[in-house]
A and B are shown apart, each in its own frame.
Chain A
Amino acid sequence: MKTDESLIPLTPAVFYLLLALASGDKHGYQLMKQVQLDSQSQVRMGTGTLYGSLKRMLAAGLIEEAGERPDPALDDERRRYYRLTDRGRQALHAEVQRYAHVVSLAQHHRLLPKLAVEPAP
């Protein structure tokens, strides 16, 4: 998979936002909670930081606004949903590959035991 090298490495905020969107379209507050959950509260994103990051990710073409809502009947129509673009998916893939390489290096240098990968909650 080809990606724009200038995007890598991603900042923790951008990485976790892309990761959160990999499982489906989300609005701002859903993203905020998903990032906190995925990062085990290591990355706590306030509203201001969240929308600043989303603005820059939109401008970089990593995400886009989703036209349709997952469940319009249950939702406030003023909410805006975001989704990954192909470019965003590629950047996320490249970053995960980079992390995987770092993990394998750490294991090679005996800095990290072989991990049994836990399934996501």
Chain B
Amino acid sequence: MSPHRHVRTRMRAERIYALLLRLYPRGHQSGYGPLMAQTFRDQARDAVATSGGLGLGFWLEVLADVIRSVWRERRSAGEGAFSVTWVGKHFGVVAGLLLGGLAIVGIVLSNVVFASTESDSEYTTLYLVGYAAILLVFTMIGFVASGTPGRIRAGARAGTAAALLATALGLATFFVVDNLFLSIVSQQVDKIQGFHQSSFPTMRAYVNTELVYAVLGMLPLAAAAGAVCGAVGAVARKALRGASSAS
């Protein structure tokens, strides 16, 4: 590796480490951030000089150290890696990831493991109940994230984050499942009918184009629904607090 590439590799690594430093509590960052960056610079310089680059082993060690020490520093700073304060601040993101995880499991089970060839129209009522439940969950997320004062913006923000993350994870799963298990997915009645009515040359082209439309349509719709539901949750909390303090 040329000296020029060595420098580039090190600079890229330092930029990545600077981002990882942001995971530490603020007090620790301001007291030790520059020293940690300097020590990492020394470590990366030596690793590049001896091994010619920064391989997977180097980064795995760095990541393991960051995870362990971030956890410890946040706990000792009273923030807790997953403490109430942290979760409260990032409640929308945490809830979105949990919902997304559920969506992934649900999509894989219903489309691959227990694949059904029946049309979606057979389950209209079930879908409507499901969507209503999801909107209710976004409302509850806004309720919790708005905090004791019932901050409407915080509620709307958490609802938006949760809805966007859950939808994005769900759509990403559809993309993977539809492409990896096309032979199973293409047995669905709705897909067969849609494909025959379309002008696409292959089922894969049809499925992927539909997914692109879904991404373009559903992400803004999910963000709007999440924001509205989250704000409603925050308003509900504010109203409840007002009612309880009046009585």
Contacts and interface: CB of A to CB of B under 8 A. Distances in A.
| Chains A and B form a bound pair | yes
B158 to A, nearest CB: 29
Interface stretch (A2-10, A49-57, A93-101, A112-120): A49-57
Interface string B32-64: 101110111011000000000000000001101
Contact of B36 (A44, A51, A79): A51
Contacts of A48: 24, 36, 65-66, 68-70, 73
Interface in A47-68: 47-52, 54-55
- Interface range, A side: 10 to 19
B28 A46 contact: no
Nearest to B72: A52
A79 B36 CA distance: 10
A46 B38 contact: no
B196 to A, nearest CB: 58
A46 B64 contact: yes
B34 A47 contact: no
A108 interface: no
B73 A47 contact: no
B3 interface: no
A29 B45 CA distance: 11
Contacts of B28: 51-52, 55
Contact of A47 (B31, B39, B72): B39
Interface residues of B, number: 22
B72 to A, nearest CB: 6
Nearest to A33: B46
A48 B70 CA distance: 8
A46 B42 contact: no
A20 interface: no
Residue of A44, A46, A47, A49 most packed against chain B (CB within 10 A): A47
Interface of A: 27-29, 32, 44-52, 54-55, 76, 78-80
27 contacts: A28-B42, A29-B39, A29-B42, A32-B39, A45-B65, A46-B61, A46-B64, A46-B66, A46-B68, A47-B36, A47-B39, A47-B43, A47-B65, A48-B68, A48-B69, A48-B70, A49-B65, A51-B28, A51-B35, A51-B69, A52-B73, A55-B28, A55-B31, A78-B34, A78-B35, A79-B35, A80-B35
Interface of B: 24, 28, 31-32, 34-36, 38-40, 42-43, 61-62, 64-66, 68-70, 72-73
